[in-house]
């Protein structure tokens, strides 16, 4: 288990690359991804039979390509995520399935695509079983089960229990197995994604719920998925999840099922954040330094159109200043860091509920760079064009070189799909 990180408040480099050079070459705001971090995080999970990356966390093709080269498979939630995975070199079908589609509903495009390409479907509602079964009789499916309880760092991220819209309610498993059978669908695996990576007591309950469900489904079950939800330390001093303990609980569950079924059961894990959060840095430029009463504000050129986690969840991200003069010994101040959007919630230093929390940061001037760290997961992927801001550039640091893997969106691209009726 890696030791708890200490995030710096002054930095000049990202993985050996000068932040100033990156900003002058690619402009700001720009996401910078350190490929070596993705490789380390993949290696941490090597004890699992399959590491299935949740594409939604960061769906850039170059990131998907890195994960594929490291042996990772993918989980997708939409037709275009499936097409992204295929564009990044994943085969549509295979054993184990390279691409899984996990959802609670099909839209017309996703249903059509999974039927046509043979992409494996993980059904999160009885209706999905019917809709798929009518078109794809004979195929294998897995079921996403809601065990009746949840866990999560916010009401908005809780993925189990009766407040959650996700998964097939545990008590309906029997009825859903019958439904699948009626359609000639083969239920080959079960999945639970309820975000309980750090709490081992809770995880033990999840494993028990999985075991019960799998025993109910019987020896047709050949895979179990632990889902995602592995946390990362977003603050200095926070520790990493005990992956050995996490794996041990799931592995014991899987082994008991193997005993009872008399055949192998594949153990999958489905991280998004864990693989990509720490690799990502959002490089911004400070465009205003101003006081409002007693408060000091740094306003940067990135907003919640680039990184929405603070406004959505009150999420904390480490931040650092890149000193233009190289002086690392600056006095520190309590600062509120905000963006350019015409919206008072456009603040990166806030708690859940929207309460602004100042951050202790080094003195900085207009024109200097501010880096928002641990921004690889649910950063660019949640980007929007709000205020007609272009999608940020994305850069991958790979083998000592910085490669542009998404250029900044242009005005022409921004308005491309629109038209004025004649
Ligand atoms: C979002 C999601 C994940 C990944 O969640 P993280 O918290 O980023 O690890 C995994 N599986 C499913 C089904 C998801 O919806």
pLDDT for res 24:
98
Angle (nearest 5°) at CA 103 between 171 and 90: 130
The pLDDT tens digits for 94-117 are 999 999 999 999 999 999 999 999
Asked whether residue 153 carries a pLDDT value surpassing 60, the answer given is: no
Query: Which residues are CB-neighbours of 34 under 8 A, at least 6 positions away?
Result: 14, 15, 279, 280, 281, 397
Task: Report how far ligand 1's centroid is from the alpha carbon of 303 (Å).
Answer: 24
The pTM of this model reads: 0.97
Burial 37-49 (b: 16+ CB within 10 A, else e): bbbebbebbeebe
Task: Report how far ligand 1's centroid is from the alpha carbon of 333 (Å).
Answer: 36
Q: Residue 80 is encoded by which pair of tokens?
A: 């275009």
Name the average pLDDT for the chain: 96
**Confidence tier at 152 by pLDDT (50, 70, 90):** low
Asked whether residue 154 carries a pLDDT value surpassing 60, the answer given is: no
The pLDDT tens digits for 230-286 are 999 999 999 999 999 999 999 999 999 999 999 999 999 999 999 999 999 999 999
The pLDDT tens digits for 318-376 are 999 999 998 989 999 999 999 999 999 999 999 998 999 999 999 999 999 999 999 99
The pLDDT tens digits for 164-198 are 889 999 999 999 999 999 999 999 999 999 866 67
pLDDT for res 162:
80
**Confidence tier at 298 by pLDDT (50, 70, 90):** very high
Task: Report how far ligand 1's centroid is from the alpha carbon of 336 (Å).
Answer: 30
Q: Which residues line ligand 1 (CB under 6 A)?
A: 54, 56-57, 75, 102, 193, 195, 227-230, 270-274, 377
Asked whether residue 92 carries a pLDDT value surpassing 80, the answer given is: yes
From 227, 280, 381, give the residue whose CB has the most ligand 1 atoms within 8 Å, as the site to mutate. 227
pLDDT for res 61:
98
pLDDT for res 149:
84
The pLDDT tens digits for 17-74 are 999 999 999 999 999 999 999 999 999 999 999 999 999 999 999 999 999 999 999 9
DSSP of 236-247: TTPPPP-HHHHH
Q: Are 317 and 348 in contact (CB under 8 A)?
A: yes
Active site residue 342: yes
pLDDT for res 113:
98
CA pair distance 62, 12, nearest whole angstrom: 25
**Confidence tier at 157 by pLDDT (50, 70, 90):** low
- CA atoms within 13 A of residue 7's CA, in its CB half-sphere: 23
Beta bridge partners of 100: 75, 120
């Amino acid at each position: 288990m890696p030791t708890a990180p200490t995030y710096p408040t002054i930095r000049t480099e990202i993985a050996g690359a000068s932040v100033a050079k990156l900003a002058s070459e690619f402009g700001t705001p720009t996401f910078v991804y350190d490929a070596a971090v993705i490789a380390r995080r993949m290696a941490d999970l090597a004890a699992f039979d399959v590491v299935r990356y949740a594409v939604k966390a960061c769906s850039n093709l170059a990131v998907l390509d890195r994960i594929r080269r490291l042996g990772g498979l993918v989980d997708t939630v939409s037709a275009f995520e499936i097409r992204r995975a295929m564009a990044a070199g994943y085969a549509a079908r295979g054993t184990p399935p390279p691409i899984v589609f996990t959802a609670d509903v099909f839209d017309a495009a996703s249903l059509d695509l999974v039927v046509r390409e043979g992409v494996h479907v993980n059904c999160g509602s009885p209706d999905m079983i019917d809709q798929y079964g009518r078109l794809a009789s004979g195929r294998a499916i897995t079921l996403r089960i809601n065990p009746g309880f949840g866990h999560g760092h916010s009401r908005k991220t809780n993925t189990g229990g009766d407040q959650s819209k996700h998964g097939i309610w545990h008590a309906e498993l029997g009825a859903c197995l019958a439904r699948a059978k009626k359609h000639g669908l083969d239920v080959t695996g079960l999945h639970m994604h309820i975000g309980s990576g750090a709490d081992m007591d809770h995880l033990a309950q999840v494993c028990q719920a999985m075991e019960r469900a799998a025993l109910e489904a019987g020896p047709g079950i050949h895979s179990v998925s632990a889902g995602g939800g592995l946390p990362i330390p977003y603050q200095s001093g926070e520790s990493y999840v005990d992956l050995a303990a996490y794996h041990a609980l799931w592995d014991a569950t899987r082994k008991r099922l193997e005993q009872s079924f008399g055949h192998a059961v594949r153990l999958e894990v489905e991280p998004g954040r864990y693989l990509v959060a720490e690799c990502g840095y959002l490089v911004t430029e400070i465009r205003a330094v101003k006081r409002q009463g007693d408060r000091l504000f740094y306003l940067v050129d990135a907003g919640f159109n680039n990184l929405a986690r603070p406004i959505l969840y009150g999420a904390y991200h480490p931040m650092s200043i890149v000193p233009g003069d190289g002086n690392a010994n600056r006095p520190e101040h309590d600062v509120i860091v905000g963006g350019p959007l015409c919206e008072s919630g456009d603040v990166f230093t806030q708690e859940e509920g929207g309460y602004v929390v100042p951050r202790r940061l080094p003195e900085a001037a207009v024109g200097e760079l501010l880096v928002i760290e641990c921004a690889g997961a649910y950063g660019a992927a949640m980007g929007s064009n709000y205020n007609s801001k272009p999608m940020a550039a994305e850069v991958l640091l790979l083998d000592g070189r910085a490669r542009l893997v998404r250029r900044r969106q242009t005005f022409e691209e921004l308005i491309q799909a629109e038209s004025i009726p004649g």
